[in-house]
Amino acid sequence: MTEIWASSWMQRTVFVVGGLLLGILVEVAVVARLKALAERTTFRWDDIIVGSIRGVTTVCLAAGGVYLALGVGPVDPFADTTVRRLLVVIVIASLVLATMRLVSGTVVALADRSAVTSPTLVVNVSRLVVGILGFFIILQNLDINITPLITALGIGGLAVALALQDTLGNLFAGIQIILSRQVRTGDYIRLASGEEGFVTDVKGRNTTIQTFPDGNLVVVPNSSLASSIVKNFTLPRTVLWVSVNVGVSYDSDLEHVEAVTLEVARQVLRDVEGGVLEKPPLVLFHAFGDSSIDFEVRMMVREFTSQGVVRHEFIKRLHRRFNEEGIQIPFPIRTLVFRSPLPVAAPGPATAVPAGDGGSLPL
């Protein structure tokens, strides 16, 4: 029995299995508890740090067990060198993965606290940068000269850039959109082409917009968004004016009409969620219409989605109040004046229209 335990293969197996079991034990007993503790706190950075090392300790301790196993007994030099290099690659790759998680969590955390509220593109770019640096570090530890590789990538990059013009154009357009801070996640925008909705995310190739109120997704290439005329209903502030056009009879007392309209508008802004009373409503007469004196009512609402319910309630209440006050909203009426005699229809068995010297027909 002593000879079995003293054998090299048994010791190597103990080191390998022991390293793996120790890694699993640390993952379950330490990392899992740290994660539970981090979730109980309001501090966000501990969740990011604990989440980034998930699984890395198991890989590193298992690799350490294999490394110790190589020192037991005679080992073929080629196999020893190959396994050691493979361990280096595995450990560095696991650390690079942990760094990518840490960078991604940091970008998302900073994006929530800043104007960069479209983190997907930034997260992907940061992951790519960390991954490329990690790849070069692995090559250096494998004693591979990376200078020819960088030269080849530089020459090959020209061909790739020509082949991926649209993709790279959308990528840089997305970076420009994020850095300009003129279109952010959560903003309600309207494009010159007519598409409108809430910006949900800016990705490497496109920007997604969720329409209101149906909730469908519109995918817009970043280059099209960057070159389009965009109206942002959220910047520089979320509040905006809602306009309602109204017409009253020429016989109406305009002072009375204005007072009643403003009273109804104030009631609506006070009672309906989304109304803003800090800025009083306005009534602006602006035209002598064909059958009415036209005016515009302006009311301020908290955000774009509030204007529909405010306009809806205002029209209902104003119509009811005008009926109570005897204020008439006239139907369109147009009078046609004929300067020449009306044409006479041929007499028929039923009716005949006599000729006249001219006149007017109200319609």
Q: Please count the other Cβ atoms lying within 10 Å of the Cβ belonging to residue 186.
A: 11
Q: Tell me how far apart the terminal alpha carbons of the chain are, to the nearest angstrom.
A: 116
Q: List the chain domain ranges.
A: 2-143, 145-235, 240-325
d(CA 317, CA 313): 6
198, 231, 230, 190: which is closest to 214 by C-alpha? 198
Q: How far is it, in rounded angstroms, from Cα 222 to Cα 225?
A: 5
Task: Check residue 361 and give its pLDDT.
Answer: 47
pLDDT band at 244 (very low <50, low <70, confident <90, very high): very high
Quote the pTM value: 0.59
> What share of the chain has pLDDT > 70, as a percent?
83
Separation CA 260–CA 325 (nearest Å): 9
pLDDT of residue 245: 94
Question: 46 is written with which tokens?
Answer: 């501990």
Range with the lowest mean pLDDT among 19-23, 46-50, 275-279, 325-329? 46-50
Q: Residue 103 is inside which H or E element, if any? A: helix 77-113
When mean pLDDT is compared across 303-317, 332-346, 349-363, the lowest value belongs to: 349-363
Q: Give the chain's length.
A: 363
Crossing angle for the helix pair 77-113 and 119-141, to the nearest 10 degrees: 160
Task: Work out the average pLDDT over 92-103.
Answer: 87
Summarised one tens digit per residue, pLDDT across range 262-295 is 999 999 999 998 888 888 999 999 999 888 999 9
> CA-to-CA distance for 360 and 363, rounded, in angstroms?
10
3-state SS assignment for residue 350: coil
**Per CATH, the architecture of 145-235 is what?**
Roll (2.30)
Q: pLDDT of 322-348, one tens digit each?
A: 999 999 988 876 667 767 665 656 665
Residue 113: pLDDT band (50, 70, 90) is: low
CA distance 260 to 329: 14
Q: Extract the runs of DSSP E, i.e. beta strands, from the chain.
A: 188-191, 196-202, 206-210, 217-221, 230-232, 240-248, 282-288, 293-301, 335-338, 359-362
Predicted confidence (pLDDT) at residue 158 exceeds the cutoff of 70: no
> What would the two tokens of residue 60 be?
């590193």
Residue 337 near residue 283 (C-beta atoms within 8 A): no
DSSP 275: B
Residue 295's pLDDT is: 95
User: Is the pLDDT score of 225 beyond 70?
Assistant: yes
Tell me how far apart the alpha carbons of residues 156 and 150 are, in angstroms, rounded to a whole number.
Answer: 10
252 or 4, which is more confident?
252
The CATH class of the 240-325 domain is alpha beta
Tell me the average pLDDT across 45-73: 82
User: What is the distance between the alpha carbons of residues 85 and 104, in angstroms, rounded to a whole number?
Assistant: 28
